Amino acid sequence: MATKRRFGDRKDGRRLRTLHPVDTVSPYIMRTRADSQNYIMDKIDLAPVDAYIRAKRAAGLDRFGVLHVILASYVRAVSQKPGINRFISGQKIFARNNIEIVMAVKQELRPGVPNTLIKTILEPTDTAEDVYRKFTAAFEKAYAGSENNFDGTARIINYIPGLFKRWAVGFLNFLDYFGWLPRALTSVSPFHGSFFITSMASLGIPPIYHHLYNFGNVPVFIAFGAPRRENQLADDGSVLHKKYIDYTVVTDERICDGFYFASALRIMRRCFRHPEMMDVPPENVVCDID
């Protein structure tokens, strides 16, 4: 829900003013995201997800896959637990105005090919199909071969000599600390967003625990790996052959407490067990505190 911008708010988020004192002090104690990273690994039972993916592809969503299911589940979690969409900037805690996801992809899986960054704006009311269409549009634009705005900005900075380049990045960090970076820059920056997601599936390896960046304000990094099989012993003594995908989440613990984030992850788990619930918008969208 849009609110009137007040003094102290940023272009990409509104400052939270009714937080508990412990929460407002923590960014001064743990001053960077590197100081406040938490790590968790979970797994997705692919039986219901695979059936859901097959149904979506049969309905015409040709490249619908696990990535879109994870993205849609996180969007659904944000709709009910908006605290996971907060961020820290200038030692203050903000509620982000929208859901901005970032992903780095390679146009070709071979050495020497640089990553292309995709940034997609989503809404808490988005369904799995909405997420698919918005992300696919951003993906196709990235693969069209045209240089995006951030790549152009990075190219300009690259022309600056080393010592001055360090000063230039430091100056951008200074502007960002006070919320003075132009929205035109933060809207395309991969270091400003709700969460960064990366896939290890195409590489055929397990997910890594990816660090958070101190530059910018991304508070969550999600990675997921290749499908794997696991044998489990059933209550009757028979062996069940299960298929899973592991995923990791690295969070900035300052945005919300562990109980709150765990409740958001439970929503994601429910989405994985019953992905059809993401075919309709949530009945209500919860707004973050003032």
- Residue spans per domain, the chain: 13-276
Structure confidence at residue 236 as a pLDDT band (50, 70, 90)? confident
Structure confidence at residue 252 as a pLDDT band (50, 70, 90)? very high
Tokens of 267: 């929503």
Which one is predicted more confidently, 278 or 236?
278
Question: Average pLDDT, whole number, for the chain?
Answer: 91
pLDDT score of 149: 60
**pLDDT digits over 136-171, tens only?**
998 888 777 655 566 666 667 777 777 788 888 899
User: DSSP assignment of 62-76, as one string?
Assistant: TT--HHHHHHHHHHH
Asked which of 47-51, 104-108, 229-233, 280-284 is least confident by mean pLDDT, the reply is 104-108
Q: Which amino acid is at 83?
A: G
Q: Between the CA atoms of 9, 119, 198 and 267, what dihedral angle is there, to the nearest 10 degrees?
A: 60
Q: Is 50 exposed, middle or buried (0-12, 13-18, 19+ CB in 10 A)?
A: middle
Which one is predicted more confidently, 215 or 140?
215
**pLDDT digits over 54-80, tens only?**
999 999 999 999 999 999 999 999 999
Mean pLDDT, range 268-279, rounded to an integer: 98
pLDDT of residue 183 exceeding 60: yes
pLDDT score of 108: 60
Domain 13-276, second-level architecture = 2-Layer Sandwich (3.30)
Structure confidence at residue 116 as a pLDDT band (50, 70, 90)? confident
pLDDT score of 210: 95
Mean pLDDT, range 269-284, rounded to an integer: 97
Mean pLDDT, range 165-188, rounded to an integer: 90
Q: How far is CA 3 from the centre of its chain?
A: 23
